[in-house]
Amino acid sequence: MRILVTDGLEPDAVAALRAQHHVDLVEADPKQLLEIILNYEALIVRSRTKVTADVLAKGAKLKVVARSGVGVDNIDVRAATARRVPVVNAPTGSTISVAELAIGHMLSLARQLPEADRSMKEGKWEKKRFEGRELHGKILGLVGSGRIGAEVARRAHAFGMDVIAFDPYLSPQAAKDRDIRLVDGLPALLMQADFVSVHAALTPETKGMLGAKELALMKRTAYVVNCARGEILQEGALAEALRAGTIAGAALDVFEKEPPTGSPILAAPNVVLTPHLGASTHEAQARAGGIIADQVLKVLRGEKPDFAVNPEVYA
């Protein structure tokens, strides 16, 4: 069978697929994808490629769509389900890498590392200017506490932080096992936390859930970190809060539109920005690639995959 990979995949994963099937690596634009998809039984993407209803309609042979990563908001899962096409992902591939990046952003904000680096390279020695804050003893508020949130909490505890979370899907027992205190609602979390770290999935309920009203609830000394999905946090409202000094700072790895050309956040003060690097480690890509290769091969053999995000296609 024929497999199309549009956003790159780890060499070992490609080799595993090629051992059993024909694989094409094509960085297809939307128009090209519509033209060639009819030739393939499997499509593997990362976050760049948008798998729309039109793509799925053109891909009459498709048996599986795979996302080498976690989030599937770039795939029309409903349309895939209507066509009985399983959508698979690699939910555990990037967990550690994203969690480490979130902690790294917290340290960058608390100790003003990017600004201190820039100052040094300008020939300055501004030791007194860059008096930071410790993570120890601070309250970390997790907006969402699934796999990644749990790993962030584990690392935060090692720094001596107290961890609270707003997550309607996290059971009290699971929270207790992770030494996380659940709070009753997002406002309660925002008012208590010294660091707010977003780890929710992008859904109709979470889209834009952090706006001007919510940011106004935060402490003036608090920071917000988003390594989840850009559309959860309203960038215009965040930029205004940073300019007004309503919050102390922010770090974003994800944006409402990527790249964020023209976004007001680019000119905002006290913000650290990275270009969606959460899963961009060798280890994460190797894990995700291996998981995805295994899932795709299972489907093409007629077996049920382990990580179908629309398992109802097998009902």
Nearest to 308 by CA among 95, 79, 90, 149: 90
| Residue 149 backbone dihedrals phi, psi, to 5 degrees | -60, -40
Phi-psi sector, 206: left (phi>0), alpha (psi -120 to 50), beta: alpha
| Residue 193 backbone dihedrals phi, psi, to 5 degrees | -75, 145
Residues facing residue 22 across a β-bridge: 2
Q: Kindly report the CA angle at 285 between 279 and 291, in degrees rounded to 5?
A: 115
Catalytic pick from 151, 229, 235, 287?
Answer: 229
DSSP 64: E
CA separation for the pair 216, 185 (Å, rounded): 15
What secondary structure does DSSP assign to 111-165, as a single string? HTHHHHHHHHHTT---TTTT----STTPEEEEE--SHHHHHHHHHHHHTT-EEEE
Catalytic pick from 27, 35, 205, 258?
Answer: 258
What secondary structure does DSSP assign to 250-304, as a single string? EEES--SSSS-TT-GGGG-SSEEE-SS-TT-SHHHHHHHHHHHHHHHHHHHTTPP
Query: Is residue 110 within a helix (H) or strand (E), and if so which, with residue range?
Result: helix 95-111
Q: Is 276 a catalytic residue?
A: yes
Catalytic pick from 46, 155, 276, 287?
Answer: 276
| Cα Rg of the chain, angstroms | 21
CB 252 within 8 A of CB 275: no
| Catalytic residue ranges | 229, 258, 276
